[in-house]
Amino acid sequence: MGPVGLGCMGLSWAYHDAAVNEAEAEALIRTAIDAGVDHFDTSDAYGHGSNEMLLGRALAASGRRDRIVVATKVGLVGGEGATQYKYGRDGRPEHIRAACDASLQRLGLDTIDLYYLHRIDPEVPVEDTWSAMAGLVAAGKVRWLGISEAKVAELERIRRVHAVAAVQSELSLWTRDYLGDVVPWCEANGASFVAFSPLGRGFLTGTIQVGAQFSEADFRSTLPRFSAEAVAANQKIVDAVRAVAERLGRTPAQVALAWVLSRGEHVLAIPGTQREKYLRQNLAAADLVLSPQDLEELDAVPAPVGGRY
């Protein structure tokens, strides 16, 4: 997989007031395929399945499914209507098996390349969930298994059941929680670390100013890090990113992505966007090598105000 994939979540759900135009979203995925993106990330939870259907349509129309890694997820349930951002967890083996079939159907595929457990269900031993997922590999429905937001102790438990091909967790200049343990664990165990929200849900791009308002439909309205006070306090982080970007003649988004990619050869980023301009900018970040001085400045940005969730 290339270092920069496309996170498809925001094409159906999450950061916008109105539903995204389906034809435009499909066109963006097609443009990404034409531009060489070989890794697309979705989930059965995004837009209640509609994001998988969108990706499936774009893949079918592209005729290039064979050279693309399709990643989707299982294990979050609910998230409908007015409670669209409130999810439960379901890691029961019977749910995993049924949900996989439903995802395959929505994607229009025979095989999912990378199937993640979206979150561990505290009511179900993770080995049981993982074993059901391993059964999907044995059945030829899935090629590789991944897990999102797992800790090292959990990774150690599941790797005894079946190999972990990828861990997908939040990693960016303002979210470094997994840098000290899970990122090195992945390297030592031959797994990719797939960084989600590598642009800090848009914040690190410098486009979210003091006083920004998020409508109720925008997921960020529910996140402490996007409260009015936090947005104001966290501008210090963006200022530091912008300073490096200006010096290099790049955009803050590119610097934020290059910092993520600098964390290891096995670290990949899946930024999301609805716009071709941003897509191309983000892909070009793969060529940006930050100097020791750039990295030192970026490593030193202050910790953010406000929790992730």
By CB under 6 A, is residue 271 in contact with ligand NAP? yes
By CB under 6 A, is residue 50 in contact with ligand NAP? no
Stretch that binds ligand NAP, among 78-86, 132-140, 224-232, 274-282 (CB under 6 A): 274-282
Stretch that binds ligand NAP, among 1-9, 61-69, 124-132, 287-295 (CB under 6 A): 1-9
Q: Which is nearer to ligand NAP, 47 or 272 (CB)?
A: 272
Question: 56 vs 39, 71, 96, 142, CA distance in Å?
Answer: 13, 11, 20, 16
Q: How far is the CB of 66 from ligand NAP (least distance, A)?
A: 22
By CB under 6 A, is residue 199 in contact with ligand NAP? yes
Of these, 54, 198, 226, 266, which contacts ligand NAP (CB under 6 A)? 198
Contact in structure between 90 and 48 (CB atoms under 8 Å): no
Of these, 278, 288, 298, 301, which contacts ligand NAP (CB under 6 A)? 278
By CB under 6 A, is residue 192 in contact with ligand NAP? no
- Scan residues 146-185 and list those touching ligand NAP (CB under 6 A): 148, 168
By CB under 6 A, is residue 234 in contact with ligand NAP? no
Q: Which is nearer to ligand NAP, 192 or 282 (CB)?
A: 282
Q: How far is the CB of 199 from ligand NAP (least distance, A)?
A: 3
Q: Which is nearer to ligand NAP, 136 or 285 (CB)?
A: 285
By CB under 6 A, is residue 47 in contact with ligand NAP? no
Q: Which of 46, 115, 116, 278 is catalytic?
A: 46
Is 115 in the active site?
no
Question: Catalytic amino acids?
Answer: 46
Q: Which residues bind ligand NAP (CB under 6 A)?
A: 7-10, 15, 41, 148, 168, 196-202, 205, 207, 251, 253, 270-275, 278, 281-282
